[in-house]
Amino acid sequence: MAKITKQSDNFAKWYTDVILEADLAEHGPVKGTMVIKPYGYSLWENIKNILNNMIKDSGHENAYFPMFIPKSFLEKEAKHVEGFAKECAVVTHSKLISEDGVLKVDPSSKLEEEIIVRPTSETIIWHMFKKWVTSYRDLPIKINQWANVVRWEMRTRLFLRTSEFLWQEGHTAHATKEEAITETLMIVDMYKSLFEDYLAIPTIIGRKSNMERFAGADETYSIETMMRDKKALQAGTSHYLGTNFGTAFDVKFQSKENKEQPVFATSWGVSTRMIGALIMVHGDDKGLKIPPRIAPHQVVIIPINSKNEEKEKFDNFVDMVHSKLKDNGMRCFIDDSNNGPGVKFNNWELRGAPLRIDIGLKEFESGNVTLCRRDTGEKEEMSLDKLSTLPSILEDIQKGMYDSASSFVKENTFELHDYSEFKKLLSKENCFIKAYWDGSDDSELKIKEETKATIRCILEDIKDPKLKCMFSGKPAKHLVVFAKAY
């Protein structure tokens, strides 16, 4: 039986225990890397397929760009290279040689220009856009790619922050600022739908502050989520890049009026970090709880017939139940492994399967099954003709998981106007705090230094001069959400 640390004892250890014991992933041989195991990857695939359909339905096309980027490309956009410089993996040589059985870098293979392993693809994509864009007829370009990226992290944690991770990154080029901003906001709404409708994770959406904005962006919009330890996780971002990358890579187009115009850009992405969010929003001391709409197996069938009594008839009964579930559109799996029933029960509870159906000799003889819910732990005996109701039960589980997470966020979100109360609350517990802020980097930095809380996003701009910044007492410019974050 798997032993998992309790959330209340050590949340970070609980998180790692769940990932390892549920067979989602494990550490790779290079520090900071991650091996995603089949069960974890099937979860990623389900999320990916849903989002991929959303992306295509909204008029984007998938493409692929090289993972190797000339260093000079990054240098063309100063803010961008500054933001990623400390995280870049650099290729300096092209081959190895063997000397007495020892592999060494061949000094003669030193590259004329160092190559950066893709931390994000804006620079190489805008290099290509220059070739593709000459006229207004070529716009808009709406490209998405599914890829891996490398950001050389010093402190890593499975799914949340690894040196290499999987993601999608969208990149678009537009004739006008208005089109690009509309695109940026449309993507944020798409991510909101993915998180709330499928992952059952409530979200807060807003703009990033100057200090938290993506390197090279004019504006960054983020999806912020609350974990069970009440810390925030930035789960997805959408960036309005203005003309920064178009200018850096000299991308221009001829308008209908035959005037040379700049090109406006966006970029946006979510990653395997979503799985980390899923674990920390829904998991409990027994392990994962996976929303049915993205679960690898929505229903797991456990046959219990250790002495193989009436084996052929028993197996046929199990297969019939399995077929009925599939005919009703459910993803289902028969666990016919050699493990004992108790181990199987524990395993699928740990792995978060929404529903479990137990079929022992009692069920076989009565022609019924025993249904077990992961979310509530409830069990009930169910006749075969009621199996057609399981899709509605799965939807009830999906809704219940979202409602539970949403209530948790509301219970742990506060609005404060006094900085001493702000510090006092954060010294006791993690939470989300809505507060007024004067918009200055200085105030934001001092709050972060004193409390470790950051501005997760700007909810709205303030025009009422009577409203004051919680920290400085100056006129407020924004209502924001503060929290400690991953």
Domain of residue 181, CATH code: 3.30.930.10
Distance from CA of residue 286 to its chain's centroid?
22
Domain boundaries, position 121? 11-93+109-282
Q: 277 and 305 share a domain?
A: no
Q: Pick the last residue of a domain from 252, 282, 312.
A: 282
- Strand segments, DSSP code E, in 293-344 are 299-303, 332-334
Cβ–Cβ under 8 Å, residues 432 and 414: yes
Give the CATH number, domain containing residue 310: 3.40.50.800
Amino acid at the residue 94: S
Q: State how far the Cα of 476 lies from the Cα of 473, in Å rounded to an integer.
A: 8
Would you say residue 292 lies in a domain? no
Q: 269 and 188 share a domain?
A: yes
Q: 15 and 132 share a domain?
A: yes
Q: Pick the last residue of a domain from 213, 248, 282.
A: 282
Cβ–Cβ under 8 Å, residues 300 and 353: yes
Q: State how far the Cα of 108 lies from the Cα of 115, in Å rounded to an integer.
A: 16
* Domain tally, the chain: 3
User: What does each of the 486 residues of the chain score in pLDDT, given as a tens digit?
Assistant: 578 999 999 999 999 999 999 999 999 999 999 999 999 999 999 999 999 999 999 999 999 999 999 999 999 988 887 888 899 999 999 999 999 899 999 999 999 999 999 999 999 999 999 999 999 999 999 999 999 999 998 889 999 999 999 999 999 999 999 999 999 999 999 999 999 999 999 999 999 999 999 999 999 999 999 999 999 999 999 999 999 999 999 999 999 999 999 999 999 999 999 999 999 999 999 999 999 999 999 999 999 998 899 999 999 999 999 999 999 999 999 999 999 999 999 999 999 999 999 999 999 999 999 999 999 999 999 999 999 999 999 999 999 999 999 999 999 999 999 999 999 999 999 999 999 999 999 999 999 999 999 999 999 999 999 999 999 999 999 999 999 999
Q: 134 and 222 share a domain?
A: yes
Q: 169 and 74 share a domain?
A: yes
Q: 119 and 54 share a domain?
A: yes
Give the CATH number, domain containing residue 462: 3.30.110.30
Q: 127 and 240 share a domain?
A: yes
Q: 356 and 424 share a domain?
A: no
Would you say residue 101 lies in a domain? no
Q: State how far the Cα of 332 lies from the Cα of 357, in Å rounded to an integer.
A: 10
Q: State how far the Cα of 44 lies from the Cα of 267, in Å rounded to an integer.
A: 21
Q: 309 and 209 share a domain?
A: no
Would you say residue 39 lies in a domain? yes
Q: 169 and 73 share a domain?
A: yes
Q: Residue 268 in 3-state DSSP?
A: strand
